[in-house]
Each structure stands twice: as C-alpha cells, then as structure tokens.
Structure 1
Amino acid sequence: MTSARDHVADADGSQPPSPLTLALLVGALTFNTALCFLNTNVMGVNDTMVMGSEVLLVATALYLGLGRNVAPYIVLAVFMSYAAMLMAMRPLLDPKAVRDFLIPIAFYLLGQSCRDPRLADRAALISGLIVVAFGLFEFLALDVYVKYFNIIKYYVARGTVAPSDVKADTGALFASGMRPDARTLLPFLGPHRASSVFLEPISTGNFGAIIYIWCLNRKEMNKRWLTMATGIGAIILSDSRFGANVCIVATLAWLLAPRTPRFVWLAAPFFVLAGLAIYGFTSAEVSWQNNFSGRLLWTARLVTSLSPSAVWGLSPDKPFLSDSGYAYSLNQIGLIGAIGFWSLFIFTPERSRRAWRFKVCVATYICLLMLVSDSVYSIKTAALLWFLTGTSDAAPDAAEAELTAEPVGARPHYLAAGTV
C-alpha cells in the first residue's frame, strides 16, 4: 500500500533525506555545546567560528528546503532587497540582522519540504532526550560538567560577555545559571538552573515550552507523553518561570484558537507594542525588580528609548536591547519589516484546522517571549520551532491523509474520481 507521505509529495517528488534533516536539527541544537567543549579542552574559539557554524546550518536548511516552487524564492528576494535597502540607508553593515530573519525562513521552508509530522515528532523526541540528558548530567555532576564545558569562558571567547562582567558567584556557569532568589519550581532542588546543551538556562526553558506546544497539538503522535515529559523536565531543570507560564497561556490560546479570527493574531504583537510604548511614556515607576512587572517596566523603557530612526530600522546605533524582543526587532528591521514578517507568518496558509491551532500557540509564545528577550532569534531554539511550524502548515489534515493512503479502487465511487 502506498503511504500517505508519498501521496503528499510536492511536484518534483523530492523530499530532504530524513537522517540529514534530523542531523541538521540536532546540529543547530548542539553546535554551541561542541564549540564550548572545543574551547575548554582543545583550542580557543572566536565569534567567526560561531558565525561560520550558523551560516553553514542556515545555508544547508535553505538548500534542503528550497524546491521548484517559485514563492520561496520571491520571499527571499524581497527580504534580501529590503535588508540591502536598510543597510544602504544607514552607515552600518550588519549581517546579524540578515541572519536573524533568515533562520525562520530557512527552517520553515525545511519543515514545509518535509511535511511529515512523524519526522517532526522524532525530531522533537530526540531533541528533548538530548536536552534532558545533558541537563541531568549538569545537575547531578556539576563539577564534571564544568570541567569539560566552561560556559562563561566560552561566552567570553566568542565576545558575548566582557571579562569584566564575569561574576565569581556563578563560577563557570552563565550569569543566570544560579537563581539569586528562591527557586520557583521545586525549591528543594536549590538555586542551580540547568543550562544543558544551550549553555544558559533561559533557552532551556524556552525549548521546554516549544516541546509542550508541539505535543499539545499532536494527540496521535507516538511517544507523546515521553516527549512532553522531556519538555516539562527542561522547564523544571532550568527553573523557567517563563516556560511554565507559556505552557498555561498557550493551552488557553489553543482552546480559543477556533473562535479567534486571524486578524486578532495579526494585530496582537503590535497591540502589545503600543501598550508598552504608552506604559513607558506615562509610568512614573523607577524601581526595578526581577519579576514580571519589573521586566515589563524594563522592556517598556527600552521600547521608549528608541529614536525615531531606530523605530524605522535606520539608526546606526546598536544599543543593548536583548531584554526586549520588541525593541530589538524594531532596531534591526524597522516597523515596516516587522509588520511584513509577522503578516507573512500569520497569513501563510495551513492545510488543516489543527495547524492553525498550532500557529496560534506559536504566536502566543513569540508575543510573550519578546516581552523579556530577543532569544526568539536564537538558532538554538528557533531552528526546531520553525521546522515544526513549517511541517505543521504543510502536513495534510489527518482525514485527508487517510483518504490519500487508500487505493483508489477502495474508495467510494464519489471520491474515486478525484473530487477530494
């Protein structure tokens, strides 16, 4: 019997090899870990090696994801033209801005070309097991872990952290590797927050939320509960308050998705951005605390600190905006670019109602994440997220897949003529 996967092949009948696709996703997940090991035990690394690794991963994803359909080439051409225009209008050549937005395009196209949710299930499970295994290794044998993976030394070598910013109280871990106040999830585990393969706990928690969202939308997946357990385990090990809250809010969004029109999600991040601007300009609050209200105040301050030229993506200045994805996005590609990219994401068609529910959950995750971080652009978690999104959009509805899997002669006469 011919499989449903064969019947949903694209026009040229080709799909990226599954082992190569899985290897690429695992590589995006773990290449920083490999470079950290290299820097700690073999030789020094630098930012050029990090950027080169990312370029190789993104280029491979594009190579595998681009087929004979002309639409992706048009999207790439428009994006590159817009990026070239911005760089021509400001005295700054910033390849990072191009890289940030090529990641979602490349891995979304890769997911669309694979369009097999079973392969995405395997990618989620394998990635989850790797993250939890490394997280437990770090948590249970920290001295051995930092002997081979000196995280802060790696971030200094790649230029992300200045030597003067290294804190003695976190040792070889990243600055957020120890919770300065009480742990939120399972307090008896102590202040240590597992960084796992991501080398910092924030991405570990974000990864856990992504896995949870995927499992929420894949009720028929094999080993669903094991996969979901890896996501929840990543959230607990990293003591990610954000990840736990995303799981709750995304579940509510999933329940409401069939009743919310598309334009609501199109407007959502810009509604939040407008609220942040109003809050930043009108609030008289000056004290800041490490909680949700404090982070909200801080991101509002960052948004309102942008100059008019920065709002349109034309400022040559590159201030520290990593604590606000909204401010960072405006400074990188401007308001017009942000509207364009978000519109493309929301209005890209899906082949099933379930895919729309997953897209709503992803939109919820992105809108919340940009309140506190620009890590939505980090390939460590973004590669899997956008691969899952592309696969979800391209995968046929379950009922349609069952029909295409049946021999034509076995179908009712009113379906056999190709009316489905």
Structure 2
Amino acid sequence: MATTIPCGIGRGGAWPASPRQAAAGAAVQRLAIVTVVAGVMYNALLAILAAHGVAMNVTVVIACEILILLTALGASAMGGARRSDALPLGYIYFSATLTLVMSLAQTRLAIDGLRNVLIIAGFTLLGGRVNERTVRTVFTVCSAVMLLVLIWEISALESYAATFRPADYLAATRGYAVQEFYEDVGLSIGTIAYSSRFSFGIFTGPRTSSIMLEQVGINCFAITLMIYSSSLWSRLSIMEKILLASTIVLIILSNNARMASLILPVIIIGYFVFPRLPRYLNLAIPVVLLAAMLLVFQFHPVRIGDDLIGRLGVTYKFLSRLTPQDLLAGNPRLLTRAFDTGYGYTIAANTIFGAFAYWTYLTFVVPQDSAAKRRTAWSMNTYIYLWLMVGGTASFSMKTASLLWFLVGFIRVSPGDSDDVHRVLPKRL
C-alpha cells in the first residue's frame, strides 16, 4: 500500500510519496513542533538557567531567536517549495530591501522591522507545511504548560518567583534597572496591581505572567488561543476545548487582561458573523480605528494615562509628531519611545512603505474562501489592529507571534469550503 503525505503537507490533498519523501515529511512535523514550542517557551527556559547560575545577557536571547528562526526556515525548506510561498517570501524580500535602504539613509543598522517580518513570514511558511495533528499538538502542549505554570504561580508565588526570577532575567536581557522590578518578590513591575487599574477583583496580588515572565505576553497568548479556537473549534476534542477555555479564562481573570477581555466577546460573536462578511473587508479595520481615534480627539483633550483615552493619547501624539523624513526613511532612534504606540512603532521601524506592506500582508495572507479561513483572518486582524492602537511590540514578540503565524500558515493552505479544515484525521488526537 502506497505511503501518503497527509493534507497540510501539500496543497490540495494527499498524494503517494516515496519512503524518502514520507520520512522527510515526518521530520518536518517533528521539527515544527519543537521549533514553535521553543519559540513560545525559550524565555522561560533561559530564565530558569539564569536563576540557577548561568550567565545571561541580551546576546544569548538574540542568539536563541536567530537559531529558532533559522530552524523554522530550514524546516520550511525541507518541506519543499510551494506556490503559496510567494507572498511570505516576497514580504521577506521587500523588507530586506527596505532595511538596506533605511540603514543607508540612517547611517546605522535598522534591523527591528526585518526581525519582525522574519518571525511573521518565517512561521507562516512553517505552518504551511504541517498537518492538523501537528498544529493541535503544538497548541495543546503550549496551553497545558501555560496553565500548569499559571496555577503554580497563583498558588505558590514565592516558589514561582524563585524558580524563574523574572526581574533578574528581564534586567539582564532587556537592559532595565533592577529597581524597575519588584525587588522583594522578583517580578516584573508591570505585574503590580494598583488600586486605580482595571480588575475583576477575583484574584489578589500581582498580575500573573506564567511562562511569559511579564504581564503583556500572557495577554497576547490568551488572544492567540482564542483565534485558534475560533479557527478549529469544530475539529477539536472535548478535552482540547476544556483545556483552551480553562487557560483563556484563568489568564483573563488572574492577569486582569483588558485587551483579552475586550477581544473575547468579539471573537465569540465573530465565530458566527465573520464567515458572512465580505471577503477582504478586513483591510478597513485600521482605517476605521485610526479615523475613530482622530474623531475622539477632536472633542476630547489629548492626554496620557493608563486608561483607554490615555493609551490612545500616546499613539495620537506620537503619530502627530512624525516628520516627513520619519515617514519615508523610518527612525530607529524613536523605537525606545514607541513601545506603547503600535502604529507609530511600525512606521518608525519600517517606514510608511513597510507599514503599508504589513497592512497588505495582513489583508491577503489568508485566502478567505472558507468559513475557517474567514474566522482566522478576521480574528487575527481584529487582534493585531486593536493591539497596535495601544502597544508597540507585543504582537511582534516571538513568544506569541511564532504561535499565531504558525496557525495562520496552516490555515491559509488548508482546503475545504466548510467549517471543517481537514477531513483526513479523526476528531480525537
């Protein structure tokens, strides 16, 4: 009986494969699991090593990111060329060219934008070469580890902090001063739950971080799980659904995650609505959001704070101060001041041309020819464009971007015109 390569390895279904091709396909699946899980968890693993005496600095983190990226690209190359590779490869080529031009114009290396694009396009390519079982395995492993460490953090904070020592790790690898963190407990300062901040009032103590080590990444992780659930809900087993729902809810309640709380009802309603929306209308999302922000500040004084108006004020002020040179040539010097303004960060790191390229990629990376694909496209676009209103780098972090774009890469090449993405596997893993 001929060996076949399952749907998801190639476009359009399974086909007979030689033993060598079958072995290569299996190797890609295994390597993809290791690579994506490493992308999500490498900071936590490095933090444990640092907490137990291993010297740690930003160079080690950069080296790990490069190794993970090269592995993702190498695994994609092992899977062979695809017609669907044109968009992500074109995006990498455009970004590399833009980086070269920006670096010459700025007389300094402007690498941030290219790094972000390599994560986005690299994991898109990898996701396009795996089957459903691999995707579900990756999300199950990441969700289970996140949930277990989260429960540990809630129930035994001192033990969690002593194991990971997030403050020391983040100070050593991000250049922050130690006093910017909880020196007595050893947590990121962003986990402080002060009285004026939004809270569900269910959990007391610091906002949770789990394996993300800081409070923002775990928020993004919860949203990524929501997008995954929306994309593959009809294919998941009961136990997978329980795991996902438990992880999402516990993250939101223990982290007091505002963005995840906002996006959750949108994705739940969107599960039924998104498949009915016109194809590629998602390109209008940033236009509507930015226009709404401009309208708000026509009637409301611009200010900076930790509420919605204050966070939008950061983006408004940053964008309004960009010069024509910043728009056309980018400005790496502004990046350290752009962490709370995603649209501003994208322009400063990539120029206005890079921002338009990102917009184009987000719009067309998922062909919206099935219900699952439309749910993925709309959920992913809603998350990213909303987050860019108030945050600069969170949606580009490998800790969650690797997982998101791996999913997007898988969904974009999946056949079918119904809620089911693949029909070659049983419902239970």
State the Cα distance separating 1:250 from its structure 2 match: 2.4
For 1:164 and 1:88, the matched residues in 2 are separated by 37
For 1:205 and 1:143, the matched residues in 2 are separated by 22
**Residue type of the partner of 1:24?**
T
Bigger shift: residues 132-141 or 154-163 = 154-163
Structure 1 segments unaligned to the other structure (5+ residues): 406-420
For 1:300 and 1:153, the matched residues in 2 are separated by 34
The alignment status of 1:155 with 2:174, answered yes or no, reads no
CA 1:359/1:145 → structure 2, altered by over 3 Å: closer, same or farther?
same
Match runs of 1:67-216 below 5 Å: 67-69=80-82, 71=86, 72-114=88-130, 116-163=131-178, 165-166=180-181, 168=183, 171-181=185-195, 184=198, 186-216=200-230
CA 1:183/1:365 → structure 2, altered by over 3 Å: closer, same or farther?
same
Partner of 1:113: helix, strand, or coil? coil
Aligned to 1:46: 57
Indicate conservation of the 8 Å contact 2:202/2:253, yes or no.
no
For 1:145 and 1:316, the matched residues in 2 are separated by 36
The alignment status of 1:329 with 2:346, answered yes or no, reads yes
The alignment status of 1:395 with 2:414, answered yes or no, reads yes
For 1:109 and 1:28, the matched residues in 2 are separated by 15
**Residue type of the partner of 1:233?**
L
The alignment status of 1:352 with 2:370, answered yes or no, reads yes
Aligned to 2:14: none
Partner of 1:17: helix, strand, or coil? helix
State the Cα distance separating 1:231 from its structure 2 match: 2.2
For 1:143 and 1:48, the matched residues in 2 are separated by 28
The alignment status of 1:244 with 2:261, answered yes or no, reads yes
State the Cα distance separating 1:117 from its structure 2 match: 2.7
For 1:284 and 1:183, the matched residues in 2 are separated by 21
Partner of 2:107: helix, strand, or coil? coil
The alignment status of 1:376 with 2:391, answered yes or no, reads no
State the Cα distance separating 1:157 from its structure 2 match: 0.8
For 1:177 and 1:217, the matched residues in 2 are separated by 31
For 1:33-83, what per-residue CA distance to the aligned partner results, in whole angstroms no more than 9, with x for missing partners? 111122222122111111110011111111112432362544432331222
Partner of 2:129: helix, strand, or coil? helix
State the Cα distance separating 1:27 from its structure 2 match: 0.7
**Residue type of the partner of 1:159?**
R
Aligned to 1:36: 47
Bigger shift: residues 290-299 or 382-391 = 290-299
Indicate conservation of the 8 Å contact 1:205/1:243, yes or no.
yes
Aligned to 2:316: 300
274, 280, 289: which is aligned to 1:257?
274
**Residue type of the partner of 1:37?**
I
For 1:211 and 1:73, the matched residues in 2 are separated by 26
Partner of 1:100: helix, strand, or coil? helix
Bigger shift: residues 247-256 or 37-46 = 247-256
Question: What number of residue pairs does the alignment pair up?
Answer: 402
For 1:223-244, what per-residue CA distance to the aligned partner results, in whole angstroms no more than 9, with x for missing partners? 2232232222222222212111
Bigger shift: residues 320-329 or 259-268 = 259-268
CA 1:403/1:256 → structure 2, altered by over 3 Å: closer, same or farther?
closer
For 1:166-206, what per-residue CA distance to the aligned partner results, in whole angstroms no more than 9, with x for missing partners? 455x7311011121126755413113211111001211121
Indicate conservation of the 8 Å contact 1:131/1:234, yes or no.
no
Aligned to 1:60: 71
State the Cα distance separating 1:137 from its structure 2 match: 1.2
Identity of aligned pairs, percent? 23
State the Cα distance separating 1:369 from its structure 2 match: 1.0
Indicate conservation of the 8 Å contact 2:182/2:189, yes or no.
yes
Aligned to 1:339: 356
For 1:308 and 1:91, the matched residues in 2 are separated by 18
State the Cα distance separating 1:289 from its structure 2 match: 3.6
CA 1:302/1:279 → structure 2, altered by over 3 Å: closer, same or farther?
farther
Alignment TM-score, normalising by the size of structure 1: 0.87
Partner of 2:81: helix, strand, or coil? coil
CA 1:356/1:189 → structure 2, altered by over 3 Å: closer, same or farther?
same
Indicate conservation of the 8 Å contact 1:209/1:235, yes or no.
no
State the Cα distance separating 1:263 from its structure 2 match: 4.5
Structure 2 segments unaligned to the other structure (5+ residues): 12-16
CA 1:209/1:220 → structure 2, altered by over 3 Å: closer, same or farther?
same
Superposed CA RMSD: 2.8
CA 1:192/1:215 → structure 2, altered by over 3 Å: closer, same or farther?
same
Indicate conservation of the 8 Å contact 1:7/1:404, yes or no.
yes
**Which stretches of structure 1, 4 residues or longer, exceed 6 Å deviation after superposition?**
1-4, 398-405
For 2:141 and 2:73, the matched residues in 1 are separated by 22
Indicate conservation of the 8 Å contact 2:31/2:75, yes or no.
no
